[in-house]
Chains A and B, each alone.
Chain A
Amino acid sequence: MAEIVSLGEGVAELVRDGNSVALEGFTHLIPFAAGHELLRQGRSELELIRMTPDLLYDQLIGMGVARRLVFSYGGNPGVGSLHRFRDAIEHGWPRAIELDEHSHAGMANRYAAGAADMPFAVMRGYRGTDLAAHAHLAPITCPFTGETLVAVPALRPDVAIVHAQEADRQGNVQLWGIPGVQKEAILASQRSLVTVERIVKELEPRPGGIVIPHWVIDAVAEAPGGSLPSYSLGITERDNEFYRFWDEVSRDRQAFTAWMQEHVLGEVAAR
């Protein structure tokens, strides 16, 4: 049963130090505001799960809150490297992180298995690659045809955090545009927090809209602009300039830290 809370309350109630946390949103609807709130509340030792770490996890990794990263593509889309992600893996700065690396198909299937409460998902994938030796997976024989397939373990995060365009006052959520794996992430997780652009009296059905009923969500918090510099289709636009800017500011450890202090942690004092 979703409770309508403030973002601060939602994070405080649902996310604990050491948790595995999936902040999902495939390029679209990335929950930046909630991720920043994790930093402001000083969460630590997190296992961060996300198909595309993107700038948000670059920031969290650079601030040292991740002990482990579960992912499938760690780049700045269309721009280049995630410099904090690279620095952590290449030089252990600010700390070394453990990796659980998959392909997109593998991650998507792991979420889907978690959502279905199955122990694993079956797929054709990873075959012939070096990734197969590093990723957590196992061969499995089809009992009907004898074909050898690949099993990937279900993802069951402690907490899922996603962003959506709207919720109503009961906490029913609607998102539209690129749906990513948000629904799967919520259903696979023990607890969930959804941040929304706005809370409305009644949800108005949208073409391609995905409605997630309030009774599978723990908390809904209003966070207007909460997915920027990614975007919420129809409400905010992707800040492509910021993605390019991040390439510069994140290259340097000191410039990165100063930027985070001023623009993310500094908001503590401002509130």
Chain B
Amino acid sequence: MSTVSAPSSAEVQTVVAARRLRDVRTVFIGVGRPSTAAILARMVHNPELVLVYESGTIGAKPFHIPLSIGDGELAQTADAVVSVPEMFNYWISPGRIDVAFLGAAQVDRFANLNSTVIGDYEHPRTRLPGAGGAPEIAASCGEVVVVAPHSKRTFVAKLDFLTTVGHGDGPGARELLGFRGRGPTAVITDLGVLEPDPETCELRLTTVHEGVEPDQVREATGWELALAPEIAITPPPSDDELAALRELVSR
């Protein structure tokens, strides 16, 4: 009998993201849930995992979840600290990083991302922070895992602005653009996991978290979401995973 209380959907999302890093050497992360997931992965799955933050810290080993990508602890625990031009020109662009975790305000059916504006670029309804490192990170890292909350606001039929190319307009788009990386391989949400169909590159629902119905995910998606022939159910967080996550958050 488990002594740990049931996980929240946010905790499940973080645990599922951390599991993607089991057999990975290097991961590029921003702040927020991806950062928490990557630190959790180092704690329970992959102690050798190299965390790379765009502030220039390579091999950071934070004890606390950092608020910003440039917190002092990241620099103090890193194997190497490099300048921003070096980070992009020597490390990211040549494709030295295996996996990149990215977030976005909008995601479309080909896992293209918008983090620039809602509405028109010149007269936006909502001005978002902008690209940051995402376009080049998504082009060059080995693969991209998108972590986003599941709602119709986020999963839209058409992006207001294409900040970061996922699979473009479908098969062959990345090759045509000359990208090195494979692009998005998964979108992890608080409801389940979407993965690109190998034939069409279009995202389809492959996994739901425990207690979530596929119809619920379709209703929270702004396009007619395709379903994989067989939909898996996320193995629930183990007591070890959950205890480690909660301990990490409480530090």
Contact = CB atoms under 8 A, between A and B. Distances in A.
B69 A134 contact: no
A105 B66 contact: no
A243 B76 CA distance: 21
A243 B68 contact: yes
B116 interface: yes
B131 A73 contact: yes
Given A26-B84, A71-B130, A73-B132, A78 B89 contact: no
B28 to A, nearest CB: 12
A103 B54 CA distance: 12
Contact of A77 (B67, B72, B81, B92): B67
Interface residues of B, number: 53
A23 to B, nearest CB: 15
Contact of A131 (B31, B129, B135): B135
A71 B126 CA distance: 17
B138 to A, nearest CB: 10
A240 B72 CA distance: 11
B134 to A, nearest CB: 7
Contact of B88 (A77, A79, A104, A127): A104
Interface stretch (A40-48, A84-92, A253-261): A84-92
B163 to A, nearest CB: 6
Contacts of B221: none
In this complex, the interface size class of chain A, counting residues with CB under 8 Å from chain B, is: 35 or more
B130 A105 contact: no
A260 B75 CA distance: 31
Nearest to A180: B84
A14 interface: no
Interface in B102-161: 116, 121, 124-136, 139-140, 161
B46 interface: no
Interface stretch (B172-180, B206-214, B222-230, B242-250): B172-180
Contacts of A238: 67-68, 70-72
Nearest to B65: A78
B129 A73 contact: yes
- Taking chain A's interface residues, is the majority helix, strand, or loop, or is none over half, making it mixed? loop
A127 B125 contact: no
Nearest to B75: A177
Nearest to B117: A89
B133 A104 contact: yes
A128 B67 contact: no
Contacts of A126: 135
- Taking chain B's interface residues, is the majority helix, strand, or loop, or is none over half, making it mixed? loop
Interface stretch (A1-9, A106-114, A156-164, A262-270): A106-114
A108 B85 contact: yes
A27 B70 contact: yes
Contact of B130 (A72, A179, A184): A72
Contact of A178 (B57, B131, B135): B57
A103 B81 contact: no
- A77, A79, A178 pick with most chain B CB within 10 angstroms: A178
Nearest to A184: B85
Contact of B136 (A28, A125, A243): A125
A179 B131 contact: no
B162 A243 contact: no
Interface in B76-103: 76, 81-85, 87-89, 92-93
B164 A78 contact: no
Given A85-B127, A180-B83, A233 B135 contact: no
Contacts of A148: 178
B84 A177 contact: no
Contacts of B85: 108-109, 111-112, 181, 184
Contacts of B129: 73-75, 81-82
6 contacts: A28-B75, A78-B31, A78-B68, A90-B126, A123-B89, A238-B71
